[in-house]
Structure 1
Amino acid sequence: MRLYTLSKRHFVLVFVVFFVCFGLTVFIGIAGPNVIETSVARTDLNNSLKLKPFNLSSPPLSTYNQQLWLTCIVELDQHEGSLKKNVTMTVKVLGVVKDGSTPYVNNQVHNRTRLLSCAQKCSEIIVAHLGYLNYTQYNVFVSFEDLNKLTYTIQNITFTWKTYNPTFSQVEIWFRFVFVVLTFMVTCLFAHSLRKFSMRDWGIEQKWMSILLPLLLLYNDPFFPLSFLVNSWFPGMLDDLFQSLFLCALLLFWLCVYHGIRVQGERKCLTFYLPKFFIVGLLWLASVTLGIWQTVNEVHDPTYQYRVDTGNFQGMKIFFLVVAAAYILYLLFLIVRACSELRNMPYVDLRLKFLTALTFVVLVISIVILYLRFGAQVLQDNFVAELSTHYQNSAEFLSFYGLLNFYLYTLAFVYSPSKNALYESQLKDNPAFSMLNDSDDDVIYGSDYEEMPLQNGQAIRAKYKEESDSD
């Protein structure tokens, strides 16, 4: 691997290039458009209008708007203390077609109960969410049945339409396309560098990179433009499936590498891979189940929210947190044990230090991005449709994609074979050089690693010459 031939200056340069590429992506995102476009419809109320339904017309829409949310905020008179009350809401969604007619969306009227929670001001209520747009405009009729039972006077109800900004959608298409092309190039170059080596000679990191890079290609979703060409929920769900598959594969990669560095020889499926697949598989199953559950139900009911409408949501949340905690504890155990057992082996120690340092940087940046995106509410009951409305600018979107892409590109560069790897591979067929036929896990890596490849090559050639002369 190129990792063994890099000097300290090269390692510093690798991290500098990683930060420069990531920072450039963030700066481009900061200069980019806002992700969410809003349109406010403010309604002044009095006692005679309180119980009448509201007839709301959305702004003109295109496929670049991607999704549509309708939210409302109830404004009460100033009061001290808090208020929590269940409010029954009736919603009827109609799509406006070219001839001006308004057919029902899903051909039914939806009755839902929402929690009205007020402290100094009331929290936002999501009235409806459309995951894909079949019409260029929508009319929504909303009525509340229990507002007249409140002990406080209602001043206003503010309705807000939220859609993706069409300009951001174009930026997203272009950047996804750029990352797809870059990932394809990196994948081909990495595969080309390993083509002359048998798979049994690959290190565990190289084997995993050959899996992660194609999954990164799916994570960037080359099929994303289909969501603008096909009025269907399928492209969006396919994107969610690809993202969850890549992220869980990355979690599995960390477990296997930190454990595999310590385990020499054959790694049995039953004892080595099965426990890791079981833990990560549960995380993947929970995330995919929630995503598909939300998508399928929203197709039949735009007012559906599994956080509010499903009694099993709390159980699913507890299950996910328990499995995530088990994963974190298992990973920390493998890291601590690997560092304690292998810290006196410079060759293996270099692999541990590099992967741990780069992964730690990526995790810290991810935590910072999540905190800036969600604030202190990151651990609260956010649900799938609500998460997308919290993007404030393109930087928050591009930072996630740029971070993971550049992380994998850096690993692919460092784990690719070095320039002199071809010569050493050719010598492995000679019995005189059987010492070179060991796996890279069995090699002891010295501190003067810049000079070792040249010195070892010279010593091997001298030994081979002596044996040839004696024969």
Structure 2
Amino acid sequence: MEPLAPMRLYTLSKRHFVLVFVVFFVCFGLTVFIGIAGPNVIETSVARTDLNNSLKLKPFNLSSPPLSTYNQQLWLTCIVELDQHEGSLKKNVTMTVKVLGVVKDGSTPYVNNQVHNRTRLLSCAQKCSEIIVAHLGYLNYTQYNVFVSFEDLNKLTYTIQNITFTWKTYNPTFSQVEIWFRFVFVVLTFMVTCLFAHSLRKFSMRDWGIEQKWMSILLPLLLLYNDPFFPLSFLVNSWFPGMLDDLFQSLFLCALLLFWLCVYHGIRVQGERKCLTFYLPKFFIVGLLWLASVTLGIWQTVNEVHDPTYQYRVDTGNFQGMKIFFLVVAAAYILYLLFLIVRACSELRNMPYVDLRLKFLTALTFVVLVISIVILYLRFGAQVLQDNFVAELSTHYQNSAEFLSFYGLLNFYLYTLAFVYSPSKNALYESQLKDNPAFSMLNDSDDDVIYGDCHGSNTNR
């Protein structure tokens, strides 16, 4: 049996557990209410164009509103308005796009040294769906000119009434809110990490429980998840800070997935956990998920740097293959995790302290997963920007509440785990009892060793 540094979890009464959950919900609810009162994430500027038959084939010369680094990204979308009252329409139309950046002297150099020809699906029922014309992941200029022309609109059976172009950027006010809240979470995470490490300083690392060892890994990764380098996005006109942020987020989320697998399995396997049989299968499954997510992000970013009109449907075959691969590995992960949870709960339900560890982690994680599913449903359940898989994920935050709720949820989840897994106030005294031969019991479990003979009913096997 492995020795364990005492956890505060063991000393909490039912009233304390209720208080822990109440504090968690209060902190999470506070971030949600602050987000509701915050600004909208996306700022839009509409350029409405009235058409007649003679103007259909002429290109549109569109000038973006003045931009700053706080706008972060830029989208140009369009909606075709047809003179139809019923029926539906689906037709591929060819779109020609040229993007130019306006510099201080008024000249307009190419953002890319070519004119881009793309085919877009025009899908109309009662009204036509929104089409993404171009997306810029970072802003090198304070204004952009975009020339757009459509070649197949004159072949439609319906008369075109209008084409409405819309510029979409991040709201500068939201960008400032994002900077401040990321900074707050970075400071809080740093403090929690230091306090957690300070509480374990009296114990050798070999005496840490598996939850305590994982918390010492997850808390620094949470610091990266909050991204202390995020302000670089507003100081450097480059795609690198954004990709670094995506890398940190995927690294933390995959480490969290690995934490759940290792804890639910490791809590049953006392003593030495072999790398080949214990860690390797888990690293393999989670590593595939991380590799797929990072590949998708890099793939989209690199292509958009070279082509602002790039969309995943241009390379549908490879994208669908990657998507299916990701879903298959995710399904394997879920089945493996459910197997470990069921087996741990069935085998350890009669061991008081181990059972307590399982119940608390399962209850808190279940609450977090339910809230996450609700947030994801609210975020992606409504109409989204259909034609751009990765870019749409960043634009569908309707208000600050959705952003703050997801960040706050994961941060407060880790803070709560750090609190209950840190040693209790009398941990040093209990450690001295454990090291005293007069109180040692060779056949006790790790939980009974911690508590000496205070729970005599659990010491006999």
TM-score range, shorter chain: over 0.9
CA distance in structure 2 between the aligned counterparts of 1:329 and 1:243, rounded to whole angstroms = 24
Contact 2:222 2:252 (8 Å CA) reproduced: yes
Give the direction of change, closer, same or farther, for the CA distance of 1:467–1:148 in structure 2 (3 Å limit). closer
Q: Moved runs in structure 1, 4+ residues, more than 4 A?
A: 376-382, 436-439, 441-446, 466-471
Q: Residues 203-246 of structure 1, C-alpha deviation per residue, up to 9 Å, x if partnerless?
A: 00000000000000000000000000000000000000000000
**Cα distance change, pair 377–351 in 1 and its aligned pair in 2 (3 A):** farther
**Residue 426 (structure 1) shift:** 2.8
Residues 151 and 200 from structure 1, CA distance in 2 versus in 1: closer, same or farther, beyond 3 angstroms? same
Return the offset for 1:376: 5.7
Q: 2:402 aligns with which of 375, 396, 414?
A: 396
How far apart, CA to CA, are the structure 2 residues paired with 1:11 and 1:193?
20
Partner-residue secondary structure (3-state), 2:53: coil
Q: Which moved more, 1:169-178 or 1:108-117?
A: 108-117
> 1:434 maps to which residue?
440
Q: 1:143 to 1:349 in 2, by over 3 A?
A: same
Paired residue secondary structure (1:364): helix
Partners of 2:457 and 2:268 lie apart in 1 by 36
Matched, 1:274 2:280: yes
Decide whether aligned partners of structure 1 residues 445 and 367 sit closer, same or farther in structure 2, where only a CA change above 3 A counts.
farther
8 Å Cα contact 2:77/2:167 also seen in 1? yes
Q: How far apart, in 2, do the equivalents of 1:420 and 1:137 lie?
A: 62
Question: Which secondary structure state, in structure 1, belongs to the residue aligned with residue 178 of structure 2?
Answer: helix
**Which deviates more, 401-410 or 434-443?**
434-443
What is the deviation of 1:442? Answer: 6.2
The answer on whether the counterparts of 1:53 and 1:144 sit within 8 Å (CA) in structure 2 is yes
Secondary structure in 1 aligned to 2:280? Answer: helix
Pairs aligned (count): 452
Q: Once the 2 structures are TM-superposed, how far is the Cα of residue 308 of structure 1 from its aligned partner?
A: 3.9
Match of 1:450 in 2: none
Residue 460 (structure 2) aligns with: 470
- Contact 1:91 / 1:140 at 8 angstroms: preserved in 2? yes
8 Å Cα contact 1:114/1:308 also seen in 2: no
Deviations 1:82-121 (A, max 9, x none): 2221111110000000000000002211111111111111
Cα displacement (A) at 1:393:
0.4
Contact 1:194 1:416 in 2 (8 A): yes
Deviations 1:351-399 (A, max 9, x none): 0110000000000001111111111669988611111121110000000
Q: Is this contact kept in 2: 1:45–1:156, CA < 8 A?
A: yes
Residue 9 of structure 1 deviates from its aligned partner by 0.6
Q: Does 1:2 align with 2:8?
A: yes
**Displacement of 1:319:** 0.8
Counterparts in 2 of 1:381 and 1:413: CA distance versus 1, 3 Å: farther
Question: Structure 1's 438 and 244: CA in aligned 2 closer, same or farther, altered over 3 A?
Answer: farther
CA 169–380 in structure 1, closer or farther in 2 if over 3 Å, else same: closer
The CA deviation at 1:311 is: 2.4
Q: Is the 1:346–1:445 Cα contact (8 Å) retained in structure 2?
A: no
Q: Verify: 1:169 aligned to 2:175, yes or no.
A: yes
- Give deviations 1:66-89, integer Å, cap 9, x for gaps: 000000111112243322211111
The 1:205–1:7 alpha-carbon spacing in structure 2 relative to 1, beyond 3 Å, is same
Distance in 2 separating the partners of 1:104 and 1:141: 11
Residues in 2 aligned to 1:440 and 1:467: alpha-carbon distance in whole angstroms? 15
1:307 is displaced (CA, Å) by 3.5
Do the aligned partners of 1:201 and 1:439 also contact (CA within 8 Å) in 2?
no
Please list the CA deviations of residues 268-301 of structure 1 after superposition, one character each: whole Å capped at 9, or x if unmatched.
Answer: 1111111111111111001000000111111111
Q: Normalised by the size of structure 1, how large is the TM-score?
A: 0.92
* Equivalent position of 1:193 in the other structure: 199
Do the aligned partners of residues 35 and 436 (structure 1) sit closer, same or farther apart at CA in structure 2, a change above 3 Å counting? farther
> In the TM superposition, what is the alpha-carbon distance from 1:147 to its structure 2 partner?
1.1
* Aligned position for 2:320: 314
What per-residue deviation string (whole Å, max 9, x for no partner) do you get for residues 395-448 of structure 1? 0000000000000000000000011111122344433333389773565989xx
Q: 1:50 and 1:380, CA in 2 relative to 1: closer, same or farther beyond 3 A?
A: closer
CA distance in 2, matches of 1:470, 1:177: 51
Distance 2:120 2:380 in 1: 22
Contact persistence 1:347–1:444 (CA under 8 A): no
2: CA distance between counterparts of 1:339 and 1:115? 51
Shift of 1:17: 0.3
CA offsets 1:328-366 (integer angstroms, 9 cap, x no match):
111111111111111111111100110000000000001
Contact 2:71 2:172 in 1 (8 A): yes
The alpha-carbon distance between structure 1 residues 284 and 467, as it changes in their structure 2 partners (threshold 3 A), is closer
Residues 437, 174 of structure 1: alpha-carbon distance in 2 compared, 3 angstrom cutoff: farther
Q: Distance in 2 between matches of 1:364 and 1:242?
A: 23
Query: Which of 186, 193, 205 pairs up with 2:211?
Result: 205
Q: Distance in 2 between matches of 1:467 and 1:346?
A: 11
Which runs of no fewer than 5 residues in structure 1 stay unpaired?
447-465
SS in 2 for 1:436: coil
Cα separation, 1, equivalents of 2:55 and 2:411? 54
Q: Sort the Cα spacing of 1:336 and 1:98 in 2 relative to 1 into closer, same or farther, 3 A.
A: same
Give the C-alpha shift of residue 467 in structure 1: 23
**SS of residue paired to 1:225:** helix
Q: Counterparts of 1:218 and 1:359 in 2: how far apart (Å)?
A: 21
Return closer, same or farther for 1:382/1:326 CA change in 2, 3 Å cut-off: farther
The Cα offsets for residues 109-160 of structure 1, whole Å up to 9 and x where unpaired, read as 1111111111111111110000000000000000111111112211111100
For 2:324 and 2:447, locate their aligned partners in 1 and report how far apart those are by CA, in whole Å.
40
Match of 1:330 among 327, 336, 357: 336
Do the aligned partners of residues 301 and 377 (structure 1) sit closer, same or farther apart at CA in structure 2, a change above 3 Å counting?
same
180 and 467 in structure 1: CA distance in 2 versus 1, 3 angstrom threshold: closer
TM-score (norm 2): 0.94
SS of 2:269 mapped into structure 1: coil
Cα gap change, 1:364 to 1:467, in 2 (>3 Å): closer
| Whole-angstrom distance in 2 between the partners of 1:437 and 1:201 | 17
| Native 8 Å contact 2:100 2:146 kept in 1 | yes
Moved more, 420-429 or 207-216: 420-429
For 1:27 and 1:284, the matched residues in 2 are separated by 32
Retained in 1: the 8 A contact 2:93–2:152?
Answer: yes
Structure 2: how far apart are the matches of 1:440 and 1:172? 44
Contact 1:264 1:441 in 2 (8 A): no
